[in-house]
Chains A and B, each alone.
Chain A
Amino acid sequence: MLLFQYSPDFLRRLSYIHSLDLLFQTKYIHSPMICAEHLSKTFKVARRNSGLGEAVKSLFKKEYTLIRALDDVSFTIPDGEIVGYIGPNGAGKSSTIKILSGILVPDSGTCTVNGCIPWKQRQEYVKTIGVVFGQRTQLWWDVPVADSFDLLKNIYDVDDGLYRKNLTDLTELLDLGDLLTLPVRSLSLGQRMRCEIAASLLHNPDVLFLDEPTIGLDAVSKLAVRKFIKTINEEKKTTVLLTTHDMNDIEALARRIILIGKGHILMDTSFETFISRAGACSTDQCGADTSASGDKRLEELTASLYTSLGI
């Protein structure tokens, strides 16, 4: 599994990557787990203008705006890596995740995840992935968490023994013991998110897509979630694609960052390179400022990088 392969295929894909840092930092490549090539997606959104006059006009003619959500997006993620997928709101992160999970079909380009094309073999494919949407729950609201887990076990057809083992491990790692008998609606956000993540791993997926998993969580819960993701990645070699606005999540988890803005991949580098680039932008803009604390510094750096990139 730890073979370093230079297949012609891989080299070809490599040329799409914006920075060659990755080539020197990746220690092992088996075959790419996630491989996105030239993904493009455009949406048609009906335009609704304000005001009474416009509203009457809209009765007779509908106007549309075309939004380019993704424009020639390509990247490769090898097995077992944790990648931070960042960018400002509306950059195209959700669309990418949707395509990778098989919910959306791109206008052009292809991608394979674990050898499958996500939208082509949906039912077979989704057995191998886990998805956590930060703002929407996958659990049943009024029944105990354990019941939701049991239902998911049946939906994913998980073997009894495997399920019990997973459940025990996840309960211990995420400290769910007291929560299993409570209905989801009575849980706090932090508790609920821990259950969500557990739910998405019950069937041992190879790939985990996390869409804003720490949004709205308190500091303690955030740390717990981060620690857990790192553990899962180390123990089970689950490939993780993490979307987040919290740069501390990235710092804690991802060695690699893919930055997307206005539908384009703008950076695909290691975390360190990202920080030094962002630092360079910040210095250009407002002079070196080392007085801010660590957390704020990350946010400021990222913000100034976004500004300098015009996104």
Chain B
Amino acid sequence: MKLFFKYMAVIIKSRMQDKVSFFFGALGQFLASLTSFIAVFFLFYRFKTVKGFTFSEVLLCFSIALISFSLAECFARGFDQFSAFISDGTFDRMLVRPRSTVFQVLSQTMEFSRIGRLVEAAVVLVYALHTSTMHFTAGRVFTFIYMIAGSTTLFSGMFVIYASLCFFTLDGLEFINIFTDGAREFGQYPLAVYGKRVLQFCTFVVPYALVQYYPFLYVTGRSSCSLYGLLPSAGILFLLPCYILWRFGLHHYVSTGS
């Protein structure tokens, strides 16, 4: 929508006021993901493989996790920062404006400094592709891109869940961290390495495995079931229950006051 781009223009203009800050933010992001990468590198330096996955395969996983997380954090940042909006009254202001609350939260802020992480992940991806011995078909490439899309919407959905919970309480929401930052860090490895129970949880409760693991099996050739390539749709469908929770939380907020 045209209005969304207008918001974006204002935010970009606003960020560009302090270029130094932006640069350091992006640099910090870059370094944070770099240290994650170095950790993976050190581990593979010592161990060579894990659960049958090679270094370059794991790096594919790594880049998907980081690219999708930085995209989600960039555009769904409003939900990530939602507790601040409630406590400083910004959300009340949104309620007085004739636009949908979801739209306004999305448009309120965008964290472009996440580009630092994105750049790092892209570099890792290039490196992974370079050292990979895999054969890339059109189907696999499509799946790979679809995995990124699905992961991005899945992470955004987790942010929406966090924001919805903010309607009920501002305390004790730290554990959502596991599903956002945790998913990013632990999602750097194919989910199967964590064991059967984690894989089940990530298939049936929060569909991480459906966007990250099973399609990955197809991309790396461990499975020839091309249907796996469509599984990242689960990430997009996941937004539906998230939205329902948001409406429920909004109703609670308006009924009980702040």
Contacts and interface: CB of A to CB of B under 8 A. Distances in A.
B3 interface: yes
Interface of A: 41, 43-44, 69, 95, 98, 101-105, 119, 122-124, 126-127, 129, 131, 133, 136, 138, 140-143, 147-148, 150-151, 154-157, 183
6 contacts: A98-B257, A126-B96, A136-B93, A141-B14, A142-B14, A151-B7
A234 to B, nearest CB: 25
B107 to A, nearest CB: 9
A155 B257 contact: no
Given A103-B92, A104-B257, A126 B13 contact: no
Given A41-B257, A127-B98, A129-B96, A155 B89 contact: no
Interface of B: 2-3, 6-7, 10, 13-14, 17, 88-90, 92-93, 95-100, 254-257
Contacts of B97: 126, 155-156
Q: Which of A103, A127, A136, A156 has the most CB of B within 10 A?
A: A103
Nearest to B13: A143
B254 A133 contact: no
B172 to A, nearest CB: 12
Contact of B96 (A103, A124, A140): A103
Given A141-B14, A142-B13, A147-B13, A136 B96 contact: no
A95 B92 CA distance: 12
Contacts of B256: 43-44
A103 B88 contact: no
A141 B89 CA distance: 15
B5 to A, nearest CB: 10
Nearest to B92: A103
Contacts of B3: 154-155
B93 to A, nearest CB: 5
A138 B97 CA distance: 10
A155 B254 contact: no
A44 B258 CA distance: 10
A41 B256 CA distance: 9
Given A104-B257, A143-B14, A154-B3, A122 B95 contact: yes
